[in-house]
Structure 1
Amino acid sequence: MKNIYKLSFIIGMLAITSCKKTFLDLSDPTKKTADKFYQNEQEIQQAVSGAYSSLQDHVNSQYIFAEMSSDNTTIQLDPSDRGQTDRVEAFEFWNVTATNANIADMYNQCYNALYNINYALAKIDGVTAIDAKKKAQYQGELEFMRAYYYFNLVRYFGGVVLITQPLATSSDAFKTVRSSEADVYAQIIKDLTDAAAKLPAKSEYAAADLGRASKGSALGLLGKVYLTTKDYAKATSTLQQVLTLGYSLVGDYASVFDPNNKNNSESVFEVQYQGGNNLGEWSNFIYIFAPRGSEGAVTGFSTSRPQGWNIPTKSIISEFEPNDKRKAVSLKEGYTNAAGTFVGIPFINKYNHPHTIVGRTDDDWPVLRYSDVLLMLAESINEASGPATAYTYINQVRARAGLAALSGLSQETFRTAIRHERRVELAFENDRWFDLKRALTIDQMTALLNAHGQAEKASPTVDRGGVPFAPTDYKFDGYEALYPIPDRQIFLDHNLKQNPGY
């Protein structure tokens, strides 16, 4: 298990804070200008650590964009508190506009992180007091993270501003244009290819460095990129390389997410957190996801006030096959309150583990798991040539879940089986929105989501406390498969063009 500690990393003035010995260790508190900072390996390591730390900020909110906009999760309304109507609720009901503050925050966070990554990459070549192999590793880690950010951005927004070098002046930031999706994907592929060549395998890292991006991380993400761009031959060959790197499925599905089993044999890449202390690196997913009013019945702390976001829908609950071992790990269909009464409001259980300080959990966030690699490989093989040789990969995942092996499917019915398996295996890991966009046409996605919306309107997963649906709720139009560019970005940079429909 590795701990990641926060680095406040501001180009122009680097505030460097010390914690304790891990791969994100920083020096004693100082302040240095950026031009004088990148002088040796220790300072390069600190810059890379800052990039890792920013990943926490990124994944903390991804459930809003990648789960709540899908058919996987919904919200528990509090009729007395509708302050998030135009922020979070908008994603559930597909009422997102260019003024949405969560869109703006996510967009800004991505580009702030990318600026720091680009700056570090530009400076690292000039550092001579560092072993060449170690320098290549740091470059690979930064390239992996840059690719990860751009991969999310291009899937959320389509073509985006593509910057791979530090801007010469601040005014240059207001003269940017959106690159095509093809150009963004080309850069992502370049970064991940370079990263895979430079990074060590996970098994080559010392125990103190587990949690860093590895060769498997880069190849696994690259395989997902090729699958997304429908280059099935390259997806297959790239994902097959991951199979040779020593990963394996953890025998017990629950153990995959246990904080005592971080960076396990199935973990290809996960964002690191640390709870149980005051170092500011804790996660708090269960406090966001547990039902309002559940208090200590879910979190274990009676003083907690969970938020009731990202509630599993009736749709995802019914998706699990009978006797699927993953269901009880992934979600609970309710809780028993302090009075001994069962309350039938479902909640995500995957990130619910004992912890010692209220609000400070130790759960990492899974970005890429070996089961995902197996399912992607099955999908790419089926798309290229049908399911004949794809069963071995999907059936490994099903066997762990206690389910019967599949056989005798057509290419189309295998597609349906893959979508089902990915939905339940990767439930609540921020994959559903992207999977729908990749696997379905816009018309198919529109039909699926509108059918889901009508079902929720007719029989909501969670009682709405008398709040009626608005006429615009649960009406998905195809253009909403892309999110709007934040309006302030377009105001500041008139070269930017808005996505159609917004």
Structure 2
Amino acid sequence: MKYQITIGLLIICLFSTSCSKEFLNKTDPTRIGTELFFKDQVQVDQAVNGVYGQLQRITNISYIFKEMMSDNTTFDLNPLDRGGAAGWEAFEFSTVNSGNGEISNLWNLYYSVMYNVNNTLGKLPNSEITDESKKQTEGELKFLRALLYFDLVRYWGDVVVVTKTLETPNEAFAQLRVPQAQVYTQIESDLKDAIASMPAKQPAAKLGRATKGSAISLLGEVYLTQKKYTEAVSTLNGILPLGYSLMPSYADVFDPNKKNNVESVFEIQYQGGNDLGEQSNFMYIFAPRLSGAAITGYASVVPSGRNIPTNDMIAAYEAGDLRKDVSLKTSYTATNGTVVPIPYVTKYKHAHTIAGRTDDNWPVIRYADVLLMLAEAINEATGPTAEAFNYLNRVRMRAGLLPLSGLDQTAFRTAVLQERRVELAFENHRWFDLKRTKTGAELVAFMNAHGAREKANPTVSRGGVAFNAQDYIYSENEVLLPIPAPQILINDKLTQNQGY
């Protein structure tokens, strides 16, 4: 039997006198065991698709940690229900502690997917698929593992690195956090292997799965995050000949009828309009709490009022920026005709046929993102060259804005970060962009200033609920999340991040 880092009921059963060895050895004749699975191409594809499918659960909650923790979004507070105060609301107000349930859920989701990545990788050598298919499948799985660890190391710093399926509970209990540098070494190794073995394009039957361009782009961002600017430039240049381009219209990028388009480098796949359970529902999560059917079109599903664009975010758009109207609205008209001044995200607002089941994919890497990363890396490596301006201005001009010129390195750095904010708004980039481009002290000062503005002029009315004294008070330790308290109880060899 195989075990994950999070030790659950299976291990309890192993050590319980009520669970006999004979009981554990019994198999269900109607099911294929793991020792018999992974044999042919159909089974291997099913396993890999299952891993991709697990990314939906992570993506469904990522806005809490990557947007609401930043200055981009807040939430529509419910004065009659404070049940979320100790959970997801804490990420908006910077009151997170190690006992937060959202932290535990996030950690468990990542390592659950990691288990299935490693398990499938371990089964590949004995499968009966072609060597070419094995190589490509291994590349995809290593890309996914790198994607997971890249998030983990940016969330928590030092993390547990597991690259094979553990055979015994003792191995799980012996796992330790490793230094960030070691995590990045593993990420880089996986992505280099992925680049060498993945196709530039997937066949129609596998559209939406990762490609060589996905791995190149992610490795470029990994280098950029580590301030390896020369490596970032040379790596990201590798995507230029692969046929990607900007969509003519910014709105088309997010149109469910144009999924996996020429601008898409990697996106999380969803499917609405049926009962298969693969739907997205971002529109409902992001619509104001009391908007009912006014935004979604269906009164039977109550919106959550989360990820509401902040006053700061709304003000970030230049006059004439075509992206603003695609990305957000500053109010909505209720079904009774009243205009309600609560902003909301419209980037994922599209017609759908079943209440609560939208068809929107979630963009992870877009070509516009790659162009802006290239512009940033070139500027940091050599200063703002004509090439760097070209990449930046291609994104701006698609948005209907005039090109920039004549900026020095510092001004160009500011311009790129600003452009990333509005181009990639509500796509889960902002928090990590802030972490990458600011020192710990700078980030604390930046977020405290944002918090002060929110307290003085809340984006959404709080219905008479006063701010807590600790709301929006940031300290440098909060650049990293706390290790979930249950994980330290399970494995007392794990250490806690400083300040928690």
SS at match of 2:363: strand
Q: Offset at 1:133?
A: 1.3
Are 1:249 and 2:246 an aligned pair? yes
Q: How many Å separate the matches in 2 of 1:357 and 1:323?
A: 35
Letter of the structure 2 residue corresponding to residue 452 of structure 1: H
Are 1:472 and 2:456 an aligned pair? no
Q: How many Å separate the matches in 2 of 1:177 and 1:400?
A: 47
Q: Offset at 1:137?
A: 1.1
Match of 1:348 in 2: 345
Q: Offset at 1:91?
A: 0.1
Cα deviations across residues 224-263 of structure 1 (Å, max 9, x unaligned)?
Answer: 0000011111100111111110000000000000000000
Match of 1:499 in 2: 497
SS at match of 1:109: helix
SS at match of 1:243: helix
Match of 1:422 in 2: 420
Matches within 5 A, 1:223-372: 223-372=220-369
Q: How many Å separate the matches in 2 of 1:74 and 1:349?
A: 15
Match of 2:89 in 1: 89
SS at match of 2:462: coil
Q: How many Å separate the matches in 2 of 1:417 and 1:135?
A: 43
Q: How many Å separate the matches in 1 of 2:470 and 2:49?
A: 44
Matches within 5 A, 1:102-121: 102-121=102-121
Letter of the structure 2 residue corresponding to residue 442 of structure 1: G
Q: Offset at 1:125?
A: 1.1
Q: Offset at 1:164?
A: 0.2
How many percent of aligned residue pairs carry the same amino acid? 55
Q: Offset at 1:39?
A: 1.8
Letter of the structure 2 residue corresponding to residue 259 of structure 1: P
Q: How many Å separate the matches in 2 of 1:220 and 1:483?
A: 26
Q: How many Å separate the matches in 2 of 1:138 and 1:53?
A: 16
Q: Offset at 1:171?
A: 2.9
Match of 1:140 in 2: 139
Q: 2:208 touches 2:267 (CA, 8 Å); kept in 1? A: yes
Q: Offset at 1:304?
A: 2.6
Cα deviations across residues 54-77 of structure 1 (Å, max 9, x unaligned)?
Answer: 110111100000000000000111
Cα deviations across residues 385-432 of structure 1 (Å, max 9, x unaligned)?
Answer: 100231000000001000010100010000100110000000000000
Can you give the 5+ residue segments of structure 1 that lack an aligned partner in the other structure? 1-9, 13-28
SS at match of 1:268: strand
Match of 2:26 in 1: none
Q: How many Å separate the matches in 2 of 1:206 and 1:66?
A: 32
SS at match of 2:182: helix
Letter of the structure 1 residue corresponding to residue 254 of structure 2: F
How many aligned positions are there?
473
Match of 1:75 in 2: 75
Q: How many Å separate the matches in 2 of 1:277 and 1:178?
A: 42
Q: How many Å separate the matches in 1 of 2:34 and 2:341?
A: 54
Letter of the structure 1 residue corresponding to residue 119 of structure 2: Y
RMSD of aligned alpha carbons: 1.2
Are 1:54 and 2:54 an aligned pair? yes
Match of 2:200 in 1: 201
Q: 2:287 touches 2:304 (CA, 8 Å); kept in 1? A: yes
Q: Offset at 1:49?
A: 1.0
TM-score using structure 1 length: 0.93
Q: How many Å separate the matches in 2 of 1:397 and 1:214?
A: 23
Q: 1:30 to 1:310 in 2, by over 3 A?
A: farther
Match of 2:39 in 1: 39
Match of 2:388 in 1: 390
Q: Offset at 1:303?
A: 2.4
Q: 2:39 touches 2:129 (CA, 8 Å); kept in 1? A: no
Cα deviations across residues 438-469 of structure 1 (Å, max 9, x unaligned)?
Answer: 00111111111000000000000000000000
Q: How many Å separate the matches in 1 of 2:366 and 2:449?
A: 30
Letter of the structure 2 residue corresponding to residue 53 of structure 1: G
Q: How many Å separate the matches in 2 of 1:315 and 1:490?
A: 37
Q: Offset at 1:30?
A: 5.2
